[in-house]
Structure 1
């Protein structure tokens, strides 16, 4: 099992993403393109980066200064809880409202209002649970 947000972990997530039609294909239907980063709230820069072109993750790895469309941050404890137990739509909304999940870039509220994006987003957290992390 790879370290959370390491290049190996991000690439495992990339493979799981691309293998899941409920994520990749649903986002391809709406022409979703985005550079997504994630990391810890107490750090200046994100740790991992995930580049999506037309729904498919085309690259993933260590963050190296890429311009980001989405930057998600949480404490390590919260990330690990979501990796271990998953999170649903209600839990995601609560985590955002309570400040446990922060979006330093990206329109979380707008995304949640669009079921074409919200469903795959929640499913992507399920992929994190599927691959696990250290």
Structure 2
């Protein structure tokens, strides 16, 4: 298994993302375009990024100065817990309010209030478990 959020891991994540209708198809319906960074709390930059165009992941790569729409951070231990047992809406809300999950870029509150984005965001954690 590739190191969490490494370029190899991100490429595999992109493949699984596109294979999940509750992610790619749902986000395609709202024309979702983003560069999403994933990384570890306390690091200066994210480790990896997922490039999404019209809901589909068109790239997964190591962070290399890309401008991000979202930059999500947590401890490596926390990420591994979520990958092993994906959280639901309540678990993510608690993680955000307790600062176990941090959005360095992006607005968690507005995203989670929009069911068209909240459902796919929650689904992304179970997709991570397939990588």
Q: TM-score range by the shorter chain?
A: over 0.9
| Gap regions ≥5 residues in structure 1 | none
For residue 90 of structure 1, what is the aligned residue in structure 2? 90
Q: Is residue 43 of structure 2 the alignment partner of residue 36 of structure 1?
A: no
**In structure 1, what is the Cα distance between the partners aligned to 2:130 and 2:93?**
21
Specify the SS of the correspondent of 1:86.
Answer: coil
1:78 aligns with 2:75: no
Q: Could you tell me how far 1:83 is from its partner in structure 2?
A: 1.0
What's the TM-score once normalised by structure 2's chain length?
Answer: 0.98
Cα separation, 2, equivalents of 1:42 and 1:8: 22
Structure-1-length-normalised TM-score: 0.96
The CA RMSD over aligned residues, in Å, is 0.6
Q: How far 1:130 sits from its partner (Å)?
A: 2.1
Name structure 2 gaps, 5 residues minimum. Answer: none
**Partner of residue 59, structure 1:** 59
Give 1:1-134 correspondences, 5 Å limit: 1-131=1-131
State how far apart, in whole Å, the 1-side matches of 2:91 and 2:130 are. Answer: 18
CA distance in 2, matches of 1:14, 1:29: 18
Q: Output the CA distance in 2 between the equivalents of 1:129 and 1:87.
A: 11
Shift of 1:2: 1.3
Q: CA offset at residue 42 of structure 1?
A: 1.3
- What is the deviation of 1:85? 1.3
How many residues align structurally?
131
